Amino acid sequence: MPLFVVDPAFDRSGAPRRAFMAACLDSLDESMGRALVYRHGDPVKVVAALAAEVGADAVFVSREYGPYGRRRDAAVAEALRSNDVKFVGVGSAYAVQPGDVNKGDGTAYRVFTPFSKAWRAIGWDSPLGVPEVDWLGAPTIECEGPPAATNVDIVLPPAGEAAALDRWNEFLPEATHYHDRRDLPGVDGTSRLSAALRWGLVHPRQLLAELGPERGHSVFASELGWREFYADVLFRTPESAWTNLDHKLDTMVVDTDESARRKFERWATGTTGFPIVDAGMRQLLQSGWMHNRVRMLVASFLVKDLHLPWQWGARHFMRHLVDGDLASNQHGWQWAAGTGTDAAPYFRVFNPTTQAYRFDADGHFVRSWVPELRGIDGAAVHEPGSRRPDDYPAPMVDHAVEREEALARYRHATAGSR
């Protein structure tokens, strides 16, 4: 019997994620002949009650590794155990389960490159074939219906396994060029499968099984490895979802006053006056997605040009991203902020204008998302100067000045931790 519990905790998720989840569930339900049983409420009570209702001997779930999922599943298991019902965790959303990649002394990796080498050395099983299952479910079992509709003002990506595999089959022939194109936000050079991976429409082992030795394929596999690395870090240090992984930077001064909140609002609405930052923030608001290179740029701008807490940015991303994944999002932000897993974060302060010239050389990405600047041709769009239209703001900060301020704050924090 297939069961999905509509957990009240979902109400805290961003609307784009809730809407896409509902669309994916509908696709899954259709693939099961509408046998999926929906029940609403606290999973601890709902699962135990339904198991008793149908006389189940066991409940099987895909293993969860995030903080909330682990707490929830432990509580569900305890409730079932009191009724002599087995609770069985199977598989995971990863090629290698978080916690399984360790150094020779059994400790965890805190830097990606050695983690990646060990992760590849462990390897993973090939994906299984499509199973044949006879579902006992709705309407024989009472079904309370899917989650309430969530209205969003964005076009969601196609939902369901078939759509995800179609996208993969479209991308795979181009993956040989992935290493050359993945950092260019103005071209369709990435897989765009982050939401599909986040929601389990495809499994990373399915993708890894079809990759070859070509450089582009190897680089793409490394990107999947980053996802697994961050899941491993969060699994081992669940408190790092909202606190610094590197505690020596806990004393770093960040701005949180009313002026800081006004700065955050300009960043969040894409009105900073830095074209590539604004393009990325508007892409997020209008599509529920942002190119990964641009995610790094806008994150660096928030924490190192505006000196705001990385948690503000991480929360904003989770509110608007369709692919919002706690481990990848939070630790991607910590990487940009210099508080996480990077071995040498201290000196990295992205110059948004220099990065724009490098990765959006013709200005196509900026013009796609900042219509005020569409009258400026070529790379000049990154520094409009006297051609800046009246309806587009001047840069809100001087990057060179704020870079020095950021470095000064880092030096102060690291000196104080010795």
31-78: pLDDT as tens digits: 999 999 999 999 999 999 999 999 999 999 999 999 999 999 999 999
What is the per-residue pLDDT for 417? 53
Residue-wise pLDDT for 267-322, tens only, equals: 999 999 999 999 999 999 999 999 999 999 999 999 999 999 999 999 999 999 99
Question: Among 239, 227, 220, which Cα is nearest to 197's?
Answer: 227
Does 289 map to a domain?
Answer: yes
What is the per-residue pLDDT for 93? 95
Does 294 map to a domain?
Answer: yes
224, 268: one domain: no
CATH number at residue 179: 1.25.40.80
**Do 283 and 294 contact (CB within 8 A), yes or no?**
yes
Report residue 156 CA to chain centroid gap.
Answer: 16
Does 230 map to a domain?
Answer: yes
- State how far the Cα of 278 lies from the Cα of 287, in Å rounded to an integer: 14
0.85 cut: is pTM over it? yes
- State how far the Cα of 216 lies from the Cα of 96, in Å rounded to an integer: 21
What is the token pair recorded at 3? 């069961």
Task: Split the chain (418 residues) into runs of 10 and give each run's mean pLDDT.
Answer: 96 95 97 97 97 97 96 97 96 95 95 96 93 94 94 95 97 96 97 97 97 97 98 97 94 97 98 98 98 98 98 98 98 94 79 98 98 97 94 97 96 75
260, 304: one domain: yes
What is the per-residue pLDDT for 348? 86
Does 148 map to a domain?
Answer: no
What is the per-residue pLDDT for 104? 93
Question: Among 263, 317, 319, which Cα is nearest to 294's?
Answer: 317
**Do 137 and 35 contact (CB within 8 A), yes or no?**
yes
263, 403: one domain: yes
7 φ, ψ (degrees, to nearest 5): -85, 130
- Which of 38, 62, 91 finishes a domain? 91
172, 275: one domain: no
What is the per-residue pLDDT for 414? 86
Q: How many domains does the chain have?
A: 3
Query: Parallel, antiparallel, or unpaired: how do β-strands 37-40 and 3-6 relate?
Result: parallel
342, 311: one domain: yes
50, 105: one domain: no
Contact residues for 257 (Cβ-Cβ < 8 A; gap 6+): none
- State how far the Cα of 314 lies from the Cα of 345, in Å rounded to an integer: 18
CATH number at residue 41: 3.40.50.620
319 φ, ψ (degrees, to nearest 5): -70, -30
Our CA angle for 163, 169, 171, nearest 5°, is 105
What is the per-residue pLDDT for 418? 52
Domain that holds residue 251: 247-416
